[in-house]
Amino acid sequence: MILRNGFDLKKYIRTIPDYPKPGILFRDITTLLSDLHGFRAAVDELCWPFLKDQIDFVAGIEARGFILGGAVAHTLGRGFIPIRKKGKLPYRTIGQDYTLEYGVDTIEVHEDAMKKGDRILLIDDLIATGGTAAAATDLIRKSGSVVVAAAFVIDLPELKGAEILRKKGVKVHTLVEFDGH
Ligand code: AMP
């Protein structure tokens, strides 16, 4: 997507073939984050649909969702909540299991991070199968909070993650698309 100011976000995302395993095209955003224009453009574009929405917290998914989510929270003037892999948070947590290609993983949030009725904007760098974001949505809902929307820099539409999330009743905002996995 060419942004309204003519900025081509896609050019700043590096693709690394066969990482972390053969057949995967890893979409590396470190090259976007290290560019002063790229980082700002990405964060601005993630934020703009939500400038007038009622949002209480921005939640980011470990790990790249922390970098983008932190910047989005700061830009929107909201607090930030980390959603982490199992065992990483120091206080009491609630968790949500989700299925990976091989096996099961768990994400967690502090049990007092959000409360009933809080309105959450969910952020990650990329949506592929949607498994991670769907689990984060379930986790937020388990806390009694509302997922206002989920926003990602990158969508891999062939994997249909955004579609799955929309079917769960979540508004999805993405900035650029790449073919394949
Ligand atoms: P999924 O749960 O399949 O939607 O995967 C999304 C999570 O895995 C995100 O946190 C991404 O950072 C990471 N991820 C999945 N596929 C890729 C990819 N091709 N390149 C970079 N990160 C990926």
* SS3 of residue 131 by DSSP: helix
Q: Ligand 1 centroid to 50 CA: how many Å?
A: 23
- Is residue 64 flagged as an active site residue? yes
pLDDT at position 5 over 80? no
- Angle 160-23-163 (CA atoms, 0-180°, nearest 5)? 5
Q: Ligand 1 centroid to 98 CA: how many Å?
A: 14
With contact defined as beta carbons under 8 Å apart, do 70 and 80 qualify? yes
Over the stretch 89-142, which tens digit does the pLDDT of each residue have?
999 999 999 998 778 999 999 999 999 999 999 999 999 999 999 999 999 999
